[in-house]
Amino acid sequence: MHPSKLLLRPASNAMATRKLADYAGFRRVLDESKSIAVLTGAGVSAESGIPVFRGAGGFWRTHRSQDLATPQAFAANPSLVWEFYHYRRNIAFNAQPNEAHKALALYENKCNKEGKSLTIVTQNVDGLHQRAGSANVVELHGALHKVKCTNSKCKFIDENYDNPICEALRGRGDPAEDNYDLPLIDKKELPSCKRCKHLVRPYIVWFGENLDVKVMTAAREAIDTCDLCIVVGTSSVVYPAAMFAPSAAERGVPVAEFNLNEEPADEKFSFHFPGPCGSTLPRALGVESV
């Protein structure tokens, strides 16, 4: 059986009832844990107003987002792809961390004071964990505030919070605006490398690309050494992240899941907390934002 089938198999009613919203049991495990790995996905950022671009509803204008998030799409039409990512950057930069982001940052600070460790491994690219105050964050799929030079002799990776990132993109990209018929932007006017002036691309792991080896190593180390795994706002179906929590559960590590689903994604998970993460997670961690 393919591993993804196992991830999607719902727990029995008895198992779901036993695991459902056991805050006291979770707190006992949490208090005893020394090394905590937190896996986060689109669900946690959705509560900050970040659209979920994956799935049946993941359209931008008339394009499926998956069709734009590829090296082939960027090579064929960098102007169109940059309009899409300018729109995403604008949303992310104007969004605010929610109570779930803040709770994780507060608990990481608590861990640091108590000699414990907490590592966030996120599939999100919006940077909201860091803006909430989290420091130990592994970004699996890159970050919207970073760009990478397309010049094979340069490949400089830079942080860029400019909005718009270049003047030619001002007023472009919003699917609600009636500007679909504007002419394509010339490559020379698109975002360029600060070092060599070549075209840059969003620093995002696109479909068909491999995750950065160093990033993957850091994520795997966090999972392999944790004694508690917390899953927040992710359906656990996107690889390679989908294998992280089940692998922790396989070696006997408690896994606590926080998302909108009524049932656990895997019957081996120890705890399941359905509902908005901004409500369930702060309560479970015993922290409140100020």
Question: Dihedral through CA 244, CA 245, CA 248, CA 254, nearest 10?
Answer: 160
125 is in an annotated binding site: yes
123 is in an annotated binding site: yes
In sequence order, which residues have a C-beta less than 8 Å from that of residue 221 and are 6 or more positions away? Answer: none
277 is in an annotated binding site: yes
166 is in an annotated binding site: no
Amino acid at 85: Y
Q: How far apart (Å, rounded) are the C-alpha atoms in residues 69 and 207?
A: 6
Per the CB < 8 A criterion, the answer to whether 172 and 181 are in contact is: no
Residue closest to 82 by CA, chosen among 51, 126, 139, 90: 90
101 is catalytic: no
259 is in an annotated binding site: yes
226 is in an annotated binding site: no
Query: Tokens standing for 123?
Result: 């599939």
142 is in an annotated binding site: no
87 is in an annotated binding site: no
Amino acid at 184: L
229 is in an annotated binding site: no
85 is in an annotated binding site: yes
Per the CB < 8 A criterion, the answer to whether 50 and 95 are in contact is: yes
96 is in an annotated binding site: no
Cβ of 266: how many Cβ atoms within 10 Å?
21
Residue closest to 258 by CA, chosen among 74, 40, 79, 77: 40
Residue 213's φ and ψ, nearest 5 degrees, are: -60, -45
Q: Which of 129, 141, 145, 272 is catalytic?
A: 141
In sequence order, which residues have a C-beta less than 8 Å from that of residue 220 and are 6 or more positions away? Answer: none
193 is in an annotated binding site: yes
Q: From the annotation, which residues make up the binding site for NAD(+)?
A: 123-126, 233-235, 259-261, 277
**Binding site membership for Zn(2+): which residues?**
149, 154, 193, 196
> Which segments are annotated as binding site?
85, 88, 123-126, 149, 154, 193, 196, 233-235, 259-261, 277
User: Residues comprising the binding site for substrate?
Assistant: 85, 88
The set of catalytic residues is 141
